Chain A
């Protein structure tokens, strides 16, 4: 994996709050995490992106001290996580994937219960306000909707005013509106100076939220960097999508300046990947003027993280 000069520079001025080297975790025959190394810096939103079963949850649970790794070194906030490292747990804000809570406690009681498990805690009223659950504070937890439940999970992760927030699939299963609300909440926490480590299998979430992303596949990090940087590093080409009225001569587009690859999708759309956008565009314009290209529509887009994932794994990320 090629480290960009930018990341190296950042690592020198920024303080690493997470330091993982060669992390391995096996469940019987299966190696869930297969030698992961990365660093997380104070104040950043760091994302683990990958499909289900890539090792995201196992990795964060090792960081949280909920699982004991089989090999490798982990340092979180200068401490070594373990099931009994209560001093570290007190400084972490943890949201687990798909957790339930005691359903017959009210939202407020749930927050107070967890608040008392920590040496210090945030003001509960302010916290309720922050996650927009003030109106629901007297409702039983079991009556909450999916989005409200996730916001409660985030509130519980924040209750001890943690230095590092670890959110496992915080927006899984939410509708777009609820997801957007949670994104804004997480960005707000970043503005407060919190460090956030999150896992997701949504490309757009990683692109929108994360300062840096580690793409996980089969327990390994296959790419790491800022989302835009990753796209630039792996895909220098621009994608030009052509909608055509009729078929055209074979080989006509392949020879155009800058064109590296031509993909004809089943829908009829033709995608040109070009490393010389202007040159390709000019040639297309000439063909069009000469009447050789029955063009109905032309769109230009920059490749996304999804394309990077596709390029690196040969698959799309969707479950």
Chain B
């Protein structure tokens, strides 16, 4: 349903008014309606108030935030998908258990031999480890990993809350084990109480990769077309779909960060000619570092939906020679008929349908184009853990009247959905069943709802099918019993 800017603003006022005063004040800056806006990415005068949406600050106690923690950002997002090393959840059993294979980072290799992604390695802290410290245990664990998994190229130690609180020197243990075992043992200080969300965990993980991985290898045969994929976690095979296009373009993907990633190839990334960033939020840090330290330029791209894929292919190709530029046009022409077919099949069923998004790192903006390719309209979007630079990149892409919400509470999201009545909500598992109970079609947009890939030319037909399936499923017609006369 379309609402005017005035109506929406009035509704937000009313919504905020139900909070205790202190909470109302804290929350009001996080909710906004897009009014009018030029391209504000340069921070020029055209910046409107919407672009100043408050972000990356502490969640308010007791409000039901969807946010996670630094451990989730480090182990769950950045480190976890690297397949040829063991990621130890260091501390009590829970964190590793809840993040065990739940992010759908697909990886090649034989589990337990040279792929350690679908595992929960934990030091399973007991009371005595809290009291006496876990250093000794950590060393024993590293030795045991080395014995049982001889092909593991390294170990990352992902700290859980207690580790930082009891003051264990995991850096010293890691150094000792690194020397003793002759494999990379990397301490990561991603205790869950650090920072305000997953986001600090991404940053900490980037920093540890910078300090312990980057630059540690030598690329045998560097070439002019060497690139790295940065910030694609291969959810449902996304990174493979992206890699395929880049290779078709004539580029050589030296490393994948970190979906289906390998420690060994990540060490070579400083040798590439261009870093290609998909999830800016979680990996801009390492790209900036490589730019400063090695002079490697980086480029953001977007492989969701044909419009964005084409634009991205052209901007990537423009960084290379004529051969690559020609290839880009060839690829675009080659896939155009198939993409047109997808659009013509689904646009008829989805044209004009409205969507509210609430997701993580890149998706609140990156998927907009894919929806628009299908004739759909984004009428609300927000980030769980975005920063100001994410909103600056997002708001120009939104139409006037679009709702913007940062670190939205479950209460706010429920009320906003009831108010603007979108045809589809795309968010996470915590939100999914709330909206389905309301009879609102929903897709999980973190895990692709166990589907995917959604990236690249391989992904778009699946994306289109899934959105159609969610919105046009005949099942929604069954929600009300035929004898129930009350019309909603």
Q: Tell whether A pairs with B.
A: no
B residues with CB within 8 A of A: none
A residues with CB within 8 A of B: none
